[in-house]
Structures are given as structure tokens and as C-alpha cells.
Amino acid sequence: MSQLRCPKCESMEATKSGIVGGRQRYKCRNCGYHYSVAKAGKETNPYYVIKALQLYIEGVSYREIERLLGVSHVSVMNWVKKYGVKAPRQPDYHPTYKILNQKELAEFFQHPENLKGSGMMITELGDKYMLIKWERFRQG
């Protein structure tokens, strides 16, 4: 009848068994288990998943990533868990970031004092650019 496998016993033998929540429900002939077809949920563009994981590795907090990318911080936490991403400990450095358009980015690089005293990375963020700098915590 269907090419769907029973999630409980992997059997291909199923019959239709009504509609629940607008989705077709099936009953496995082998074990009697009722199940529905996979929910066609909203899938996040992989671009945002990759950017979120990059920002997480750079030390940006879940809530900041939520504000920057417009995706839920819970989604970011789930992606970190799903892909097994671990951010390295950063006891002596902390990231700061700026969101700049192309003109502002070019002006930033015009000033040599902006290029000294910290590491930095630039990543695309839609039609803008994110500049991430790592600055050493002041010991004092």
C-alpha cells in the first residue's frame, strides 16, 4: 500500500487509518502501531545554521546570535548540540563585533590604529559585514 516504513518495526505493510491534524495516519499491519507521515516543517536555510555555529565558536552568546541573525537562541543551542560543536575556552580574550556596510568597512581599514592590538575576522552577514575582534582582558 505505502512505501512508508513503520517507525517501530520497520515493516512496509501499512494501511491508511484516518487523518489527524491534517496529516494522513497509518496503522502498521505487522505490529499495530499508528503513525503519521513526517511533518513538513519549516527548514532553516543552511546559511544561517553555518553563520550561527561560526559565531558560537567565536564566543558570541546564544542571545546575541539570536539578535544578529534573527533565529531563535533555542535553535542555535539545538544546532550546537546536533553538530557537536564545542567552543574553545577563552579566558584571556573576549570577542567584540561591529556590523558595517561596505563603505563603513572600507573606512575602518583606512585607519591603522584599528588594525593593531587584536585579532580580527570579517564575515558576510546578508548585505552587511560583521567584523569580530578579539581583545585581551586587561589585567589590573
pLDDT tens-place string over residues 106-119: 999 999 888 887 77
pLDDT tens-place string over residues 10-59: 888 999 999 887 888 999 999 999 988 765 566 778 989 999 998 888 88
Indicate the fold that domain 42-89 takes in CATH.
Answer: Arc Repressor Mutant, subunit A (1.10.10)
pLDDT tens-place string over residues 86-106: 877 766 667 788 899 999 999
Long-range contacts of 132-135 (CB under 8 A, 24+ apart): 132/55, 132/58, 132/60, 132/95, 132/96, 132/97, 133/95, 133/96, 133/97, 134/59, 134/90, 134/93, 134/94, 134/95, 135/93, 135/94, 135/96
What pTM was estimated for this model as a whole? 0.56
